[in-house]
Structure 1
Amino acid sequence: MTETMIPQFPDYSIYAGLYVEVANSKELHSVVSNLPFAFIEADTICSREQLFSAVYKALIESSFNKQRTKTLNSECILSLSPTSNIGEAFKRFGISEKTSRIVVLSIVAKTEKAILEAKELIHGVGVDLTDEALESGYDLGLIKKVCSRCTQLFERLKKANLLLTTSRYIELQIGGQIPSTFCGRIIKNISECHSAARSVTRR
């Protein structure tokens, strides 16, 4: 796992990694709620931008005392989801007993002790968490399915010829109405949404 930091939140370290050919998903699925990680179905993640947009939103929610889950790690999974239903978010973006590709994520405050190494738990092959690695394995059909609500929203906006400004997109994303970066990828004609999400993570 590699360590990253978001400039707006210097008090937190973000650890992220990608594991493929995972052989013990059933075991991990049974104990995931007790582990200091977010285990995410990698087939639903198409870029680092999508992943870290969810991290950014989770930290925003926490800083304004609007966090709805028990930990920042689980809040990241909720932030990936196009709905506010926590159970549905974990069902769509969390791992299953048959998952073979896992994105592992952990947000750790600088005041906390070092985290347990994910490689000690996962029976799989660790690879660099790059856009190329994510793009080579994500399932577009699955992404469209889990993001159907946002897809329908963008289709309605497109038909009504309502293009969002960058500032409005960021406002909607942070407000939870458009929580996933990759929705902009699915609806090709709304490229501004994609660039807006990029500006959120790079400010």
Structure 2
Amino acid sequence: METVSLPHLPDYPLHICLFKDVNNAPFLRQQLLEGNTDFEYAFLDASILLSRNQVLAACFRAINDLLQDRLKSRNVHSEIVFSLSPNNNISESFRRFGVAETSRHILAVKVGGVQSQIEQHLKGSVEGNLVPLTDEQFAELRDESRLRKVYKIGATGNEAEAFVIGSMALKGS
């Protein structure tokens, strides 16, 4: 688990875990659908994520929207999922970026809380292998064709990161 403190938002630490080869995605999805408060995380399908910066940009936008009382979804964690989308369709955002029954690689993000408790809960709840939160790991896990289709880009290397983050930032403006 990695804890990240975003510039300008030191009171909202992000606790992030990247899991590979997850076996219980249907269970995790069901917990979210039932509104189980023990599972109040942003559970993301890691195969559709380009980079660590993309995830941090989505978290920054979601926390900023929380602080400005502009959330379009239920809470800051669902807003992280929504913030990844290049468009304003909330249900499409969850379908594309949220954990699905078929998700094999999952990124879990928790805003705030006690790092040791969050890490213990995630390690006990997610049946998968914890891997480092690096761009190299994202490159290994991602579905290139799906990512290109969602963001309508030709390549998914470093040159695509600015376009992806820009499309996330500009939606709704």
Give TM-score, length-normalised by structure 2.
Answer: 0.81
Q: Which has the larger radius of gyration?
A: 1
Report the number of matched residues.
Answer: 158
Distance 1:85 1:24 in 2: 27
Q: Show the counterpart of 1:88.
A: 92
Distance 1:118 1:175 in 2: 32
Q: Show the counterpart of 1:176.
A: 171
Query: Contact (CA 8 Å) 2:45, 2:97: kept in 1 or not?
Result: yes
Residue 30 of structure 1: how far off its partner (Å)? 1.2
The equivalent position to 1:124 in structure 2, one of 98, 123, 128, is 128
Structure 1: any 5+ residue segments left out of the alignment?
153-165, 179-203
Q: Show the counterpart of 2:157.
A: none
Q: RCO greater where, 1 or 2, for CA within 8 Å and sep 6 or more?
A: 2
Q: Show the counterpart of 2:151.
A: 147
Distance 2:110 2:76 in 1: 8
Residue 175 of structure 1: how far off its partner (Å)? 5.0
Q: Show the counterpart of 1:6.
A: 6
Distance 1:146 1:174 in 2: 15
Structure 2: any 5+ residue segments left out of the alignment?
155-161
The percentage of aligned residue pairs carrying the same residue is 28
Query: Contact (CA 8 Å) 1:11, 1:109: kept in 2 or not?
Result: no
Give TM-score, length-normalised by structure 1.
Answer: 0.70
Distance 1:108 1:144 in 2: 32
- Cα RMSD (Å) of the superposition? 2.5
Residue 138 of structure 1: how far off its partner (Å)? 1.0
Residue 12 to residue 118, structure 1, CA distance change in 2 (3 Å): same
Equivalent position amino acid for 1:81 in 2: S
Equivalent position amino acid for 1:176 in 2: K
1:54-203 aligned at under 5 Å gives the runs 54-108=58-112, 115=118, 117-148=121-152, 151=153, 174=169, 176-177=171-172
